[in-house]
Amino acid sequence: MLLMLEFFRRKEKPDSITNVERINPIPFTIRGHHLRRFHELQKMTGGKPKPLGKYMDYERDRWNVFKLIDSDGKTTAKTRVPDYYVDVMGSSPEENERFYEQTAVVYKNFLQLDPTYPVHLTTQPDSICGTCIHGQHCTKSSPQADVNTIEAFIRRIESKPSLKIGETVITEETIYYGDNSVLVKRVQTTAGTVKNVLNSYRSFDEFASF
């Protein structure tokens, strides 16, 4: 828990992938339920960085609409924290802009990953969590949505092994949510495999229900 809290104290802008990391790659980590965002990114950009600017314009419009809808400050069943969009985007124009800039860096990094670059699917905080201005909901959310998405991903590659590029290893780890310990799966795979799986579905709802 201390490590998780320390993660959310860091507010620096996510860095681009360096040449050192290309030689000794640090796995690109994706929290299970965040696959929805990468699926949409992959579909709307065609998996290429060039259209990212237009996609970020779409992201801005969507988040701003969501923020207005949620501006009553009520706690939602989805997030279990008040002011969810303030928690994500901040409350000032400067914080909003920092959130968008950090998100664009994460998206660009994902789109530029080589097919064999290591990617881990997990229930733990990832670079998307790191873009949040406050990120309180990231430590309070139930891991069930992550677990369900990871299980769906595993079923997909087991039913269609041709989607895999390189090695995929599935391990188990114990995480703590509140006072309970939960045994969950972690998928160690490649960017090519993740992108192939995302591209194999027209919609994320189709993926999640597989």
Report which of 122, 191, 192, 186 is spatially closest to residue 162, judged by C-alpha positions: 192
pLDDT tens, position by position, 53-88: 999 999 998 887 777 666 555 544 444 445 788 889
Neighbouring C-beta atoms of residue 181, cutoff 10 Å: 9
Q: Is residue 43 part of a domain?
A: yes
DSSP letter for 92, please: S
Measured distance CA(99)–CA(60) in Å, rounded:
10
Q: How confident is the model at residue 19 (pLDDT cuts 50, 70, 90)?
A: very low
**Within a domain: 15:** no
Q: How many separate domains does the chain show? A: 1
Q: Is residue 17 part of a domain?
A: no
**Does residue 77 lie within any of the structural domains?**
yes
How many other β-carbons are positioned within 10 Å of the β-carbon of residue 1? 7
Q: Which domain covers residue 189, as residue numbers? A: 2-10+27-208
What is the pLDDT confidence band of residue 15, given thresholds at 50, 70 and 90?
low
Instruction: Specify if 180 maps to a domain.
Output: yes
Answer with the residue of higher pLDDT: 7 or 152: 152
Per the domain annotation, does 16 fall within a domain?
Answer: no
Contact 30, 121 (CB under 8 A): yes
Is the CB of residue 110 less than 8 Å from the CB of residue 41? yes
Cα–Cα distance, 35 to 30 (Å, whole number): 7
Domain-embedded: residue 156: yes
Other residues' Cβ atoms within 10 Å of the Cβ of residue 108 = 17
Average pLDDT of the chain to the nearest whole number? 83
The reply to whether 19 falls in a domain is: no
Distance CA 118, CA 142 (A): 26
